[in-house]
């Protein structure tokens, strides 16, 4: 049985899902990192693939950009497909000491989105990563010799023209990265009862006006996929 936005059978989706924003990145990861990957959904070209990693089934699927798109796929993955863990792998803008290429494990995600408030009686939800997955990611990164920073991030609804003083507030609160999805993913994980983590490579350094070349972004993606898979396998 398919959902409105995912045309896979329930058995086609694995309990562990890697969620890049871009469906073509999902295909790239499936082709380069998974064994025996096959396409399981393509509705609206939001491609998803299921294969195996070290013998265990894994799905990698695009989630789009921003909380509303991500939330559609994540809600259907949780409610209809019963997924147990979703690891977002993506990029973020870095602030302060977060340098281009750094890998952030998002411990918490503040936001200017109303998405979580709408489900939480108008109150501020403390949107946090699953501790087991976060700890597994820290340990897996150490095992891979990959330096990571466990850090608070901010999920914004505006890529362009957000609140003019937003970055000052983020710096004041020592928030290391800004992206557009983690807070929604974490809020949904808390409500729907699955484990979530966002692993983010700093692709833009906002204090220093630096941007990562496309080739380096691709390498960062594969590195995050391998870290996500190792984390999920040991969480
Ligand atoms: N802002 C929001 N999302 C992002 C950024 C950014 O600067 N860089 C990568 N994703």
- Candidate of 22, 109, 178 to mutate for ligand 1, largest count of ligand atoms within 8 Å of Cβ: 178
State the closest ligand 1 atom to the C-alpha of 204, by its place in the atom list counted from 1: 8
- Candidate of 65, 92, 170, 213 to mutate for ligand 1, largest count of ligand atoms within 8 Å of Cβ: 92
State the closest ligand 1 atom to the C-alpha of 180, by its place in the atom list counted from 1: 3
* Distances 173 to 65, 109, 113, 133 between C-alpha atoms, Å: 25, 12, 18, 24
Q: Which pLDDT score, from 0 to 100, does residue 207 have?
A: 96
Please identify which of the residues 22, 112, 139, 204 carries the catalytic annotation.
Answer: 204
> If you take atom 6 of ligand 1, which residue's CA is the nearest one?
93
Q: Which pLDDT score, from 0 to 100, does residue 129 have?
A: 98
Q: Which pLDDT score, from 0 to 100, does residue 218 have?
A: 87
> Cα 215–218–223 angle (5° rounding)?
130
- Candidate of 155, 203, 221 to mutate for ligand 1, largest count of ligand atoms within 8 Å of Cβ: 203
8 Å CB contact between 148 and 137: yes
Provide the 8-state DSSP code for 157. S
pTM of the model: 0.98
> If you take atom 7 of ligand 1, which residue's CA is the nearest one?
93
Give the pair of three-digit tokens for residue 157.
């609804």
In angstroms, the CA 82 to CA 50 distance is 15
Q: For the chain, give every domain's residue range.
A: 10-234
Query: Using a 6 Å CB cutoff, which residues line ligand 1?
Result: 91-93, 156, 159, 178-180, 203-204, 206
CA of 187 to the centre of ligand 1 (A): 20
> Cα 209–214–216 angle (5° rounding)?
90
Q: What's the average pLDDT block by block, 10 residues per block, for the chain (235 residues)?
A: 94 98 98 98 98 98 98 98 98 97 98 98 98 98 98 97 94 98 98 98 97 92 97 95
What is the CATH code of the structural domain delimited by 10-234? 3.40.50.1580
Active site residue 204: yes
């Amino acid at each position: 049985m398919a959902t409105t936005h995912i045309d896979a059978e329930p058995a086609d989706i694995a309990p562990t899902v890697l969620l890049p924003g871009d469906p073509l990145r999902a295909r790239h990861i499936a082709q380069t990192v998974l064994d025996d990957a096959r396409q399981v959904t393509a509705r609206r070209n939001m491609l998803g693939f299921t294969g195996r990693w070290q013998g265990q089934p894994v799905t990698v699927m695009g989630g789009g950009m921003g909380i509303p798109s991500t939330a559609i796929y994540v809600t259907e993955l949780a409610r209809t497909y019963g997924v147990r863990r979703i690891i977002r792998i993506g990029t973020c803008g870095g602030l302060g000491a977060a340098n281009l290429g750094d890998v952030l494990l998002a411990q918490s995600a503040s936001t200017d989105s109303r998405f979580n408030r709408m489900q939480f009686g108008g109150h501020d939800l403390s949107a946090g990563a699953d501790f087991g997955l976060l700890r597994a990611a820290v340990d897996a990164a150490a095992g891979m010799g990959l330096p990571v920073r466990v850090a608070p991030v901010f999920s914004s609804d505006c890529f362009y023209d957000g609140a003019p003083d937003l970055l000052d507030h983020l710096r004041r609160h020592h928030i290391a990265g800004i992206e557009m999805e983690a807070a929604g993913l974490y809020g949904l994980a808390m409500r729907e009862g699955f484990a979530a983590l966002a692993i983010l490579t700093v692709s833009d350094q906002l204090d220093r006006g630096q941007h990562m070349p496309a080739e380096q972004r691709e390498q960062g993606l594969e590195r995050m996929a391998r870290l996500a898979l190792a984390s999920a396998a040991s969480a």
